[in-house]
């Protein structure tokens, strides 16, 4: 087990350097003039050019510059935003909690509603509950999430007035994030239902369930201890990977409800071509993906003893 975790950690470190190198290269090198890439399409005067050159070590070779960038990333020193000149780390520290909160709501919906409904549907396969949820998941999977988002915003927000139409932190607090969270999680929720349902139904037919019955175990015990434990292995994998996806997806949902999180900041940075900000956000997202994957791999090994010794 320990060896497995160490190996996964090493793999993660490699993946970290690989992806950040690509991001860094694409941002500053592929476009020719790194200063222009940093500053966007605005003309750059000599003073700014000199300042940027010093700040980003542009007179050094590429790999050295990359090293400074990684060091900054790991120590939380992300440089300054081109607009307003505030430290990027400070801006993001302000924005991340909102985005993380939004993703957390989505995740809770996915786990409780998605996995819960999937388990019930899998156990009562072919029943009314199963057929209804299956139909609903088809609808959700079929509709692009921004359409679903706008529809629910109109229906539950504008018409019914249950949820705020746009989010204002001071006014709405946590409550305002529920509807955006649900919309953000909807696709993953539908997928979780289907995946869980299939997995549960498959495991219910497995040979080891027949053995458990022959042992005289109570039905409840067979379902909870034997079937669910096995069924949830692929579901946990899916959920772990979704953590990263939800963070990324939050950026789009934030736009619909005007939630001022990282997505809001990223969109602004792209609009005004604030290169350092874009690179920082993308890099942090990459790290989140990698951490989520590591978590999944470890959880997977905990849940499935066959993985540990491969």
Partner 1 sequence: MSNHLLEVDNLHIEFRTRDGVAKVINGVSYHLDPGETLAVLGESGSGKSVTAQAIMGILDMPPGVITNGEIRYEGRNLLTMPEEERRRLRGKEIAMIFQDALSALNPVYSVGFQISETLRRNEGVAKDVAMKRAVELMDLVKIPAAKDRLKNYPHEFSGGMRQRVMIAMSLAQNPKVLIADEPTTALDVTVQAQIMDLLAELRRELDMGLILITHDLGVVADVADRIAVMYAGRIVEHADVHSIYAKPAHPYTQGLLDSIPRLDSKGHELSTIKGLPPNLLRPPSGCAFHPRCPMAQQVCQEKVPPSLNLGGGRTSACLFAEEILHG
Decide: is 233 part of the binding site for partner 1 (CB under 8 A).
yes
Spatial neighbors of 251 by CB under 8 A, at least 6 apart, are: 99, 261, 262, 263, 266, 267
49-88 binders of partner 1 (CB under 8 A): none
* Alpha-carbon distances of 299 from 81, 119, 160, 248, rounded to whole Å: 37, 20, 42, 22
Residue 214 found at the interface with partner 1 (CB under 8 A): yes
Kindly tell me which of 51 and 308 has the beta carbon lying closer to partner 1: 308
Phi/psi for 29 (5° steps) reads: -110, -45
Comparison of 162 and 218: residue with beta carbon closer to partner 1? 218
Of residues 4-23, those binding partner 1 (CB under 8 A): none
The sign one gets for the Cα dihedral 111, 114, 120, 121 is negative
Residue 218 found at the interface with partner 1 (CB under 8 A): yes
Quick one: 59 or 207, whose CB is closer to partner 1?
207
How many residues bind to partner 1 according to rule CB under 8 A?
22
Query: C-beta of 118: minimal distance to partner 1 in Å?
Result: 19
Confirm or reject binding of residue 226 to partner 1 (CB under 8 A): yes
Q: How far is the CB of 213 from partner 1 (least distance, A)?
A: 5
3-state secondary structure 204-273: HCCHHHHHHHHCCCCHHHHHHHHHHHHHHHHHHHHHHHHHHHHHHHHHHHHHHHCCCCHHHHHHHHHHCC
Q: Quick one: which segment of 6-14, 179-187, 225-233, 264-272 binds partner 1 (CB under 8 A)?
A: 225-233
Segment interacting with partner 1, rule: CB under 8 A, options 144-152, 165-173, 214-222, 236-244? 214-222
Q: Does 216 bind partner 1 (CB under 8 A)?
A: yes
> What are the b/e assignments for 241-268, b being 16+ CB within 10 Å?
bbbbbbbbbbbebbebbebbbbbbbbee
Q: Which is nearer to partner 1, 159 or 306 (CB)?
A: 306
208 binds partner 1 per the rule CB under 8 A: yes
Residue 84 CB, shortest distance to partner 1, in Å, is 54
Rounded to the nearest angstrom, the gap between the alpha carbon of residue 136 and the centroid of all alpha carbons in its chain is 23
d(CA 118, CA 193): 4
Give the interface with partner 1 as residue ranges (CB under 8 A): 206-208, 210-218, 221, 226, 229-230, 233, 303-306, 309
């Amino acid at each position: 087990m320990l060896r497995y975790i160490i190996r996964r950690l090493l793999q993660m470190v490699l993946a970290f350097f690989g992806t950040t190198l690509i991001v860094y290269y694409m941002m500053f090198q592929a476009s020719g003039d790194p200063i222009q890439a940093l500053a966007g399409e605005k003309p750059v005067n000599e003073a700014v050019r000199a300042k940027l050159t010093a700040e980003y070590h542009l007179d050094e070779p590429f790999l050295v510059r990359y090293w400074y960038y990684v060091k900054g990333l790991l120590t939380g020193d992300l440089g300054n935003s081109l607009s307003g000149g505030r430290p990027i780390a400070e801006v993001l520290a302000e924005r991340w909690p909102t985005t993380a909160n939004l993703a957390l709501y989505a995740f809770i919906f996915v786990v409780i509603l998605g996995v819960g409904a999937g388990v019930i549907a899998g156990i009562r396969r072919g029943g009314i509950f199963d057929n209804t949820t299956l139909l609903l998941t088809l609808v959700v999977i079929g509709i692009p999430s921004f359409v679903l988002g706008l529809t629910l915003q109109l229906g539950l927000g504008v018409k019914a007035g249950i949820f705020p139409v746009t989010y204002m932190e001071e006014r709405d607090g946590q409550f305002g994030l529920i509807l955006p969270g649900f919309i953000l999680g909807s696709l993953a929720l539908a997928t979780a239902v289907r995946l869980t349902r299939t997995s549960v139904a498959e495991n219910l037919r497995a040979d080891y369930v027949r053995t458990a019955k022959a042992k005289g175990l109570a039905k409840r015990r067979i379902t909870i201890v034997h079937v669910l434990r096995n069924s949830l292995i692929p579901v946990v994998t899916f959920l772990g990977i979704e953590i990263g996806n939800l963070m990324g997806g939050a950026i789009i949902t934030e736009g619909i409800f005007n939630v001022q999180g990282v997505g809001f900041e990223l969109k602004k940075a792209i609009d005004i071509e604030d290169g350092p900000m874009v690179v920082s956000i993308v890099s942090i997202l990459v790290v989140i993906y990698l951490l989520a994957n590591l978590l999944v791999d470890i959880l997977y090994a905990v849940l499935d003893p066959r993985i540990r010794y491969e």
